[in-house]
């Protein structure tokens, strides 16, 4: 099947608006779409299979196919207290964004048992600090 048949059927349907022309157009359109999907599938399969001997290249191809962003953002600080503060600030921002979203969607009219609890950042910071301290202590002792 070539594109000309599909485009001709589309043109015929647009000019006549008949049910028959639409059925022909839809059949050719669906067949064309299946052929495009099958060609892409075969191409990507070949790319991945061809790079099987080089895992790094293979993962690069897979990530490119899946449109994965390879940039990983890691904290620039190694200090546990600084890291805990960054986590607390991150979650505070996320909670604020959730509250704004819920408020904008008029969810604030729900009963109070569904509202978000108020989180005290001091306790969140302390909880994260203690958790990191315990994990670090366990790793150092083993």
What residue segments make up the domains of the chain, in order of their start? 3-65, 80-141
- Residue predicted with more confidence, 125 or 37: 37
Can you tell me whether residue 61 is helix, strand or coil? helix
- Among 57, 8, 43, 44, CA closest to 28: 8
Confidence band for 116, pLDDT divided at 50, 70 and 90: very low
Cβ atoms of 133 and 80 within 8 Å: the answer is yes
Closest CA to 78 of 132, 116, 39: 132
Alpha carbon of residue 73 to chain centroid: 16
CA 45 – CA 58 distance, rounded (Å) = 11
Q: Which of 81, 45, 40, 38 is nearest to 62 (CA)?
A: 45
Between the CA of residue 134 and those of 34, 85, 126, what are the distances in Å?
Answer: 55, 17, 12
What SS3 state is found at 123?
helix
Distance CA 69, CA 78 (A): 24
| Residue of higher predicted confidence among 112 and 130 | 130
Query: pTM for this one?
Result: 0.45
**Span 107-123, average pLDDT:** 51
Residue-wise pLDDT for 124-135, tens only, equals: 556 666 666 666
């Amino acid at each position: 099947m070539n594109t000309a048949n599909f485009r001709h059927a589309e043109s015929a349907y647009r000019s006549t608006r008949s049910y028959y022309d639409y059925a022909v157009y839809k059949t050719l359109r669906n067949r064309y779409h299946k052929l495009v999907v099958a060609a892409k599938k075969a191409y990507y399969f070949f790319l991945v299979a061809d790079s099987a001997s080089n895992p790094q290249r293979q993962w690069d191809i897979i990530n490119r196919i899946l449109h994965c962003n390879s940039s990983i953002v890691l904290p620039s600080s190694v200090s546990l207290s600084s890291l805990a503060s960054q986590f607390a600030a991150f979650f505070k921002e996320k909670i604020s964004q959730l509250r704004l979203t819920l408020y904008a969607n008029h969810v604030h009219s729900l009963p109070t048992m569904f509202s978000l609890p108020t989180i005290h950042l001091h306790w969140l910071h302390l909880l994260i600090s203690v958790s990191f301290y315990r994990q670090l202590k366990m790793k150092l002792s083993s």
